[in-house]
Amino acid sequence: MAQEIHYEIFLRQGARDGWQIVDVRLERDAAIDFAKALIADNRATGVKVMKETYNDETGDYLTLKIFEDGHNQFRTMPAEEDVPHALPCFKPDDLYSYHARATISRLLADHLARNKLTLTELSHRADALEKLEATGTLLQHAIQKVAVAQAASTATPVQQIVKSLNELVEAACQRVYRDHRKGFFPRVEASEFSALAAQLSNQSYGGYVLNGAIALYLRDAKGWDEKLLRLLGLMEQAGGPGRALLLSAIDSVIAEILNGPAALHELIGPQLDFGHELAGLVALFLGAEPDGATGRAGLAALSRRFAADDLPEARTAIASRLMAEFRSVKRLCPGSLFEEFQTLRRIADRLVRGIGKYLSHEDLIAAFTLRSRRLVTHETLSEHLADAATPDEKLARLLAVEENIVGAENKRTLASFIVPIITAPAFGNYFQNPKVPASLRLQVLSRLQARVLRSGFQESQRREIADLLDREAYEIAARARLLESILANAATPAERVAALLTLCTGAYLTEGKLSVRVRELLLAQLSTPGFLTGYTAQRTLASEKPDAQSAMSELVFALAKAGISAETGLKSIAA
């Protein structure tokens, strides 16, 4: 059984605040040390570390708390914990409530996946319950988990809670066995469900009986896709006074199917990698048939229902599964960080269209921020830069990472990787190589700096990186005596201005000390007596159009591109 393990760190701020996930680590000791540091630095009043074990066979996670600490010691209500929780149940009907069903689905996820059962089928079919009881310790283990969770918030001993839950579960099972023997759950054909729902719509136990009938109807379905197809086929029959009851029951059962990762894996089919699998989920959520899922009639019918905005509970389930998968530590494209970013961007562009009543903008940003955090680790970035041949390629790759991640803290972390690359001796040695023309080296630095200035780094970091690149560019120009050469080789002020403007407008200059120096030289040449006459004559000859006004307009426009305002330029021009 293939498994992947990671550790999620949660913090709490204040005695009554809820838990918030702040980081994910792959090493147990690193996760616990980070949690302890949060407490020691007074950044949290409480911390905990949850071990998440991913099972490839079921596509689900097993959660276990391995560490908790805090300044405020108080009992946390079970509903606030990320452990299997349950509301107090006193009678068998309580086990059919929303919260109880959510707890049971989580505790018995593996059993449901192996037997291709929904919770509705398990809780309404005598044969399915008998098979569960025959497993021996599985049911007892689930009951003990619930008892331990409840005992954490009460003074009742665990043993007493276990006894009460055993009695409750036994009563619920016996009720199903008894109803099965009496034929309480009718066996009906697809065309008869509408009449059955109408008959049960005004009865207090109507939902229980209808779900039992649906469970029997799905009993001999071969696989999840056929179950979907049968359920969606019943929707075509829904009508009359029982329509709302029947549609609600169908929606709930489909939601149970989509809540199970194993069912989704089977429905979408084998994919190239996790990124393609997630893209398939996004397509389904948006009402499109996932790529590679042809031939699955049930999935195709479901996508059409989603496109028509039907089945709200099922769409909520698929949205929740999407966010859970997005928050997981699995790489979208393990072989390439570049492909990871491309896939991430494609998914993000599509998911934005799904923001609304099923998916909030805040949840989406939080999920993308968390996934971005896992891409700016030392291990991931080192792997991304391993085959970069030159320092400028390394810097370009890191800037590409910045363009594809979200979260101010993630960008701050990324910037801390960039500064050491620029300040390293290898960076200076590479750009001060006299064998490469100075103009080419300046162009590379100018383009890199432009990307930095457009980036989402914090202002201080953006300015620091830009200044370091400008310092390197200034040093190149000084060693190559580039500006002095331009002034010496040009015969007239007009020619010198034209050459300097080419530097400014041709993306050769970094913003900062170097560009300021070039502007100073430009203004000095503009102030040289006879400049305007010589420039007008030169431009008139070049364009073969003796128009002094056009030449002046062209000059003012070029100066503006070089960062010199029209007012400053006109004041400096000498006739």
Regarding predicted confidence, which is higher, 328 or 80?
A: 328
- The predicted pLDDT at position 574 comes to 64
- Give the pLDDT band of residue 80 (cuts 50, 70, 90): very low
- The predicted pLDDT at position 511 comes to 93
- Per-residue pLDDT tens digits for 308-328: 999 999 999 999 888 888 888
Q: Looking at the predicted structure, is the pLDDT value of residue 95 above 50?
A: yes
If phi over 0 gives left and psi between -120 and 50 gives alpha, with beta otherwise, what is residue 512? left
Inter-residue contact 208 to 92 (CB < 8 Å) = no
- Per-residue pLDDT tens digits for 214-255: 999 999 998 899 999 999 999 988 888 888 999 999 999 999
Inter-residue contact 511 to 449 (CB < 8 Å) = yes
CA atoms within 13 A on the CB side of 479: 19
- The predicted pLDDT at position 542 comes to 60
pLDDT > 90 in the chain, percent: 33
3-state helix/strand/coil string of 211-272: HHHHHHHCCCCCCHHHHHHHHHHHHHHCCHHHHHHHHHHHHHHHHHHHHCHHHHHHHHCCCC
As a whole number, mean pLDDT of residues 280-303 equals: 85
Inter-residue contact 111 to 121 (CB < 8 Å) = no
User: 356: which DSSP letter?
Assistant: S
As a whole number, mean pLDDT of residues 168-181 equals: 89
State both tokens at 109: 């996820």
Inter-residue contact 242 to 249 (CB < 8 Å) = no
- Per-residue pLDDT tens digits for 369-398: 988 888 898 888 988 898 888 999 999 999
Q: Which residues pair with 52 in a beta bridge?
A: 6, 63
Stretch (H or E) spanning 75: none
| Lowest-confidence pick of 92-96, 246-250, 485-489 | 92-96
Count of helix runs (H) and strand runs (E) in the chain: 29, 4
Residues 6 or more apart whose Cβ sits within 8 Å of residue 309: 315
| pTM score over 0.85 | no
Cα distances (angstroms) measured from residue 403 to each of 250, 411, 471 = 43, 9, 24
- The predicted pLDDT at position 229 comes to 92
Q: Looking at the predicted structure, is the pLDDT value of residue 273 above 80?
A: yes
- The predicted pLDDT at position 82 comes to 42
Inter-residue contact 5 to 53 (CB < 8 Å) = yes
State both tokens at 376: 């700016």
Determine the residue type at 256: E
Helix axes 312-327, 243-259, angle to 10 degrees: 10
**What average pLDDT does the chain have?**
85
Q: Looking at the predicted structure, is the pLDDT value of residue 345 above 60?
A: yes
Q: Looking at the predicted structure, is the pLDDT value of residue 541 above 90?
A: no
- Give the pLDDT band of residue 60 (cuts 50, 70, 90): low
- The predicted pLDDT at position 55 comes to 65
Using CA atoms, how far apart are residues 323 and 334, in angstroms rounded to an integer? 19
**Pairing mode, if any, of strands 20-25 and 46-55?**
unpaired
- The predicted pLDDT at position 85 comes to 38
